[in-house]
């Protein structure tokens, strides 16, 4: 696993950015950059499970380690989902994905930190900035 960090400044309140990230319709919009038809199933409460899925019912599952409304959403990935079936332990112990929002003077800095397997490094380096541009676009509407 290798740590990646992405940051973008958005001309919107942290509440707008949060909604751009986690309201279902918006989530489906910005994550389409990764995989068309992506969605999640969860109540987004700290300690809850979250399923990150595509139209074929495959994806990943994680636990929400930390959730501070309008500020932090941290996931610890547990494994993959293939054809609707969980594949336990398919990720290492440090498979994190963290979203941090900090607002100052009407602008919000969105930082994303994740640990990615070596084989996915170039994919995330090329794709995550495009996804964050979509979050910015949604937030600034």
CATH of the domain at 91: 3.30.530.20
Rounded CA separation 54/23 (Å)? 17
Q: How confident is the model at residue 135 (pLDDT cuts 50, 70, 90)?
A: very high
Q: How confident is the model at residue 92 (pLDDT cuts 50, 70, 90)?
A: low
Residues 6+ apart with CB under 8 A from 66: 46, 72, 73, 74
Which residues form the domain of 135?
Answer: 2-139
38 close to 127: Cβ distance less than 8 angstroms: no
Closest listed residue to residue 11, CA positions, set 120, 100, 109, 95: 109
Give me the pLDDT at residue 6, please. 98
Q: How confident is the model at residue 87 (pLDDT cuts 50, 70, 90)?
A: confident
pTM, entire model: 0.94
Rounded CA separation 137/100 (Å)? 18
Give me the pLDDT at residue 119, please. 85
Give the number of domains in the chain. Answer: 1
pLDDT over 90 at 83, yes or no: no
pLDDT over 80 at 93, yes or no: no
Q: How confident is the model at residue 117 (pLDDT cuts 50, 70, 90)?
A: confident
Q: Show contacts of 70-73: CB within 8 Å, 24+ apart.
A: 70/14, 70/15, 70/18, 70/101, 71/14, 71/100, 71/101, 71/102, 72/98, 72/99, 72/100, 72/101, 73/21, 73/22, 73/44, 73/98, 73/99
**Scanning the structure block, which residue is given the tokens 């900035």?**
129
Give me the pLDDT at residue 48, please. 98
């Amino acid at each position: 696993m290798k740590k990646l960090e992405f940051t973008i400044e958005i001309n919107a309140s942290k509440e707008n950015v949060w909604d751009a990230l986690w309201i279902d319709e918006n989530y489906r919009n910005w994550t389409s950059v990764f995989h068309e038809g992506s969605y999640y199933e969860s109540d987004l409460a700290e300690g809850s499970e979250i399923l990150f899925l595509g139209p074929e019912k495959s994806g990943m599952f994680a636990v929400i380690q930390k959730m501070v409304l309008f500020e932090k959403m941290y996931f610890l990935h547990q494994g993959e989902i293939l054809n609707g079936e969980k594949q336990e332990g398919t990720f290492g112990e440090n498979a994190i994905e963290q979203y941090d929002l900090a607002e100052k003077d009407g602008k919000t800095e969105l930082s994303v930190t994740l640990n990615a397997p070596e084989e996915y490094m170039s994919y995330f380096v090329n794709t995550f900035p495009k996804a964050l541009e979509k979050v910015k676009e949604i937030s600034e509407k």
